[in-house]
Amino acid sequence: MTKVLMQGNKVIAEAAIRAGCRFYAGYPITPQNEIPEYMAERLRQVEGGVFVQSESEVAAIHMVIGASAAGARSMTSSSGPGISIKQEGISSMAACQLPAVIVNMMRGGPGLGNISPSQGDYFQATRGGGHGDYRTIVLGPASAQELADLTMDAFDLADRYRTPVMILADGMMGQMMEPVVFKEPEPRAYPEGLIMKGAGAGKRKIIRGLILDPLALEEHNWMLDRKYRTIARQETRCELFRTEDAELILVAYGTAARIAKGAIKRLRDAGIRAGLFRPISLWPFPTNEVRDLATRIENFLVFEMSTGQMVEDVRLAIQGEARIGFFGRPGGVVPTPVELANVVMRRYDRERGITECC
């Protein structure tokens, strides 16, 4: 396989096209603009490729809904404020059980915030984000290689479970360049019977999310809930890094996990046996895997580029079986591995465990 050096945003776009994405609709917003720029050029080069720069984020997500209903592998991308505007459409896709991939390259917030990398959209992504009882699968890559691999996986997961899947990365990951090898995509297996191609002489097909009968809507909600429970059982992903002999576990995802790995090297040099638990599936969160660590390790420190959102999932998973601390830098501030290592060393006493943060 050929290794190529590419910018993160372009990696996502190329991986999507190789995975069979043939429809993209989006609206410009920093720091993800290279994705629609790349898609605009490349989709012209593939058979059946369609690119639309829509008049708004609302239009973009509803165009994706239409393309998905017609059977096309479809994608849109944005950053936090734009994803907020798309939420009505994402909720509709979940209700109608339509597959698509949505990319959020996070920036500082709330509001328009700034264009610096941040991780303040974790709640928005993992709690459904819109109204009603629904979930989206959320994948949190930590390298350009994972941007490629997980983007391809996202299309397969979207088809398998007939649900929107979100790639949750950030502006730093989208702008940096790293070598990437694109894997061979899996052949698409999506039943023709789910695609709207016109009734002809066959049975009429209707895709709808408006269910006015409360009992019918309740039944629909429970059906979706059963699907989400299946996803939660079968689709968790995580990485364990130097946890075999660890006495302290850092928990981080995405760019923060890269920083944490650098900090762990410094902590190990200082005599603190630190390891990393990195969730790759942010929903479903790998609850059982982090709980297993808590049966033998007492001290956890959650590190996020936010005021603390994933820390809630860690607390729910560990259920009081270990001490949990938190360190975060919100608003687009990106700490260095040295800063994180110094924070841990100030808070960690090898004889007494975590002292300040818990």
| pLDDT at residue 322 is higher than 70 | yes
Domain check: are 173 and 312 in the same one? no
Q: Which of 218, 234, 250 is the last residue of a domain?
A: 234
Question: Dihedral, CA atoms, 30, 35, 38, 42, nearest 10 degrees?
Answer: -160
The pLDDT of residue 354: 53
Domain check: are 265 and 178 in the same one? no
- Strands (E) in 146-244, as ranges, are 164-170, 177-181, 238-241
Its pTM surpasses 0.85: yes
Residue 340 and residue 263: Cα distance in Å, rounded? 6
Percent of the chain with pLDDT over 90: 90
Residue 206 and residue 162: Cα distance in Å, rounded? 16
**Bigger pLDDT: 322 vs 347:** 322
The pLDDT of residue 207: 87
Give me the number of domains the chain comprises. Answer: 2
Q: Please report which confidence band the pLDDT of residue 348 belongs to, taking 50, 70 and 90 as the band edges.
A: confident
The pLDDT of residue 309: 97
Domain check: are 210 and 299 in the same one? no
Residue 141 and residue 123: Cα distance in Å, rounded? 17
Domain check: are 117 and 258 in the same one? no
The pLDDT of residue 355: 52
Structure tokens at 227: 């699907």
Domain check: are 249 and 228 in the same one? no
Domain check: are 22 and 135 in the same one? yes
| pLDDT at residue 235 is higher than 50 | yes
Structure tokens at 350: 């090898």
The pLDDT of residue 347: 86
Domain check: are 179 and 308 in the same one? no
**Bigger pLDDT: 178 vs 351:** 178
pLDDT mean over 113-127: 96
As beta bridge partners, residue 353 has 349
Q: Mutual orientation of helices 80-96 and 57-69 as an angle, nearest 10°?
A: 30
Task: Convert the pLDDT of each residue in 256-298 to its tens digit.
Answer: 999 999 999 999 999 999 999 999 999 999 999 999 999 999 9
Residue 104 and residue 243: Cα distance in Å, rounded? 30
Domain check: are 67 and 209 in the same one? yes
Residue 154 and residue 302: Cα distance in Å, rounded? 26
Q: Which of 234, 265, 285 is the last residue of a domain?
A: 234
| pLDDT at residue 238 is higher than 60 | yes
Percent of the chain with pLDDT over 70: 96
Burial environment of residue 296 by CB neighbours within 10 A (0 to 12, 13 to 18, 19 or more): exposed
Residue 256 and residue 279: Cα distance in Å, rounded? 11
Would you say 255 and 106 are in contact if contact means Cβ atoms under 8 Å apart?
A: no
Domain check: are 223 and 245 in the same one? no
| pLDDT at residue 357 is higher than 80 | no
The pLDDT of residue 202: 61
Phi, then psi, of 65 in degrees rounded to 5: -60, -45
CATH number at residue 95: 3.40.50.970
Domain check: are 277 and 172 in the same one? no
Domain check: are 71 and 175 in the same one? yes
Range of the domain at 146: 3-234
Half-sphere exposure for 183 (CA within 13 Å, toward CB): 13
Task: Convert the pLDDT of each residue in 193-218 to its tens digit.
Answer: 899 887 666 667 788 889 999 999 99
pLDDT mean over 247-262: 98
Would you say 327 and 356 are in contact if contact means Cβ atoms under 8 Å apart?
A: no
Q: Which of 234, 257, 289 is the last residue of a domain?
A: 234
Domain check: are 137 and 265 in the same one? no
